[in-house]
Amino acid sequence: MKPQAKKIFFIFGIALLGLVVVFLVVRIMLNLDSIATTLAAVLGALRPILLGCILAYLLYPLARFSEQFLLYHKVRQKTARSLSTMFTTLVLLLFIVLLIYFIIPQLFINLPDLVQRLPSMIQSSSQQLSDWLTAHGQQADIIQKATDTITKKFTEWLSTGSLSTLLDLAGRVAQAAVSVFHFLIGIIVMVYVLMSRDQFVGQAKKLLFALSRNRSFCDRLLHHLRVINRIFSNFVSGKLLDSLIIGLICAVCLSIMQMPYTALISIIVGITNIIPVFGPFIGAIPSIFLLLLTDPYKALIFAVFVFILQQVDGNIIGPKILGNSTGLSAFWVLFSLLLFNYFMGFWGMLLGVPLFASFYYLAREFINSRLRRKSLPINTLEYVNAAGFDDKGALTHVEPKGIEFNPLFRGENSLFNQLRRMLKEKATHPHGKGKADLSDDKPDDQP
């Protein structure tokens, strides 16, 4: 075939490929709703798989420890893998049973009583506030009217909304049944993943090595994945352990102080403590409001106790368990929470810190590699006063201009002496002219 014909066929093929791509893009744009529905259905069907993988990832350290323990005691590899997986599954089921045994009864005991007493608690608290305002000469009618309206609406909802409440309860029970079914399938998936984890890891690396042409790229990618895995595992496992300890400490201390709704408040504090920075406030605000309706004095005591507990957690317990697992400063932790909360909501607040820490690590490694190629330092402090490059490509530095300070009272150049000289000159020459200026006022004929 002639070169001219080959060129024509090549151009024709490129044009045909472009038309196919444009056709597919137009079809996708016209069917975005159906594609989104299909993707949502696929993700819903794969939800138990995802849940099982997450459970396997969280429980992998326990499975690995138990397997290594059995291998140390001369148990065969296959038997050790099966026994360690069985032990990990039993630990998970035992944790769920204990959670149901201790928490669910407390919720069923406290919540109905709280719902029944809530109108009277609001009425009593508003009456106390109205009496206090009246005693100090302020109008309290609006508070009483608002309280009566809220109490009336709540009572009507309890009495007339039985059908809608029943339907809503039935829907929630159905959703809970589906969630339990997905959770059971997730446990089965977790068992399969833990049993065959070496095969899954080997298959992933095999695919990577088959598709990659550069050996150094595979080494760098695997190194970065190991670091990201360490960031996630250390943060998630450490935060869960830290929240469990805080919840137990809160339960013990509230029991000693004889606080009402001890179990419910401890659960709220422990669960919300998983969220960095904002978690203590999210858990403390509803708990304080609940105690405020019951006993304002105990609400004040609880507020002081939660503040002390969070200080102990942030300065003693948290650093001992988490250490510097993310490598982020306090500013970047706050930034990651706000950013990922906007995009991912509640899950963004839970996983925003390790996600941003992973991105931060990758960006830092990329920047440091570029600096090493240019033979430049990677220490951040060396760039604080950097001004540019010299002829050899090295950094040049400029010292920041300092601020000169004068003593207040001592010395000739003290501020006090400068102020005194200025006032003396003002008193000597009230019109603002000095002696040199007076000579200019003489007539021209005067010598």
In the prediction, which pLDDT does 86 show?
A: 94
Contact 232, 358 (CB under 8 A): yes
Determine the straight-line distance between the first and last CA of the chain, rounded to whole angstroms. 113
Task: Tell me the CB-side half-sphere exposure of residue 197, using CA atoms within 13 A.
Answer: 22
**Average pLDDT, integer, range 327-336:** 82
d(CA 358, CA 347): 16
Q: What is the pTM of this model?
A: 0.67
Q: Is the dihedral of CA 257, 259, 264, 268 positive or negative?
A: negative
Asked if residue 111 has pLDDT above 70, the reply is no
The larger pLDDT score, comparing residue 167 to residue 249, is at 249
Q: Dihedral (C-alpha) 258, 264, 266, 269: value to the nearest 10 degrees? A: -130
Give the pLDDT confidence of 308-324 residue by residue, as tens digits: 888 888 788 877 777 67
With a CB cutoff of 8 Å and minimum separation 6, the contacts of 91 are 59, 62
In terms of Cβ atoms closer than 10 Å to its own Cβ (0-12, 13-18, 19+), residue 75 is middle
Give the pLDDT confidence of 10-53 residue by residue, as tens digits: 777 777 887 777 777 776 666 666 666 777 777 777 888 888 89
In the prediction, which pLDDT does 88 show?
A: 92
d(CA 447, CA 443): 9
Give the pLDDT confidence of 241-296 residue by residue, as tens digits: 888 888 889 889 988 988 887 887 888 888 888 888 778 888 888 888 778 767 77
Work out the mean pLDDT of the chain and round it to a whole number. Answer: 78
Give the pLDDT confidence of 100-109 residue by residue, as tens digits: 776 666 666 6
| Angstrom distances, CA of residue 85 to CA of 92, 191, 197 | 11, 7, 11
Asked if residue 159 has pLDDT above 60, the reply is no
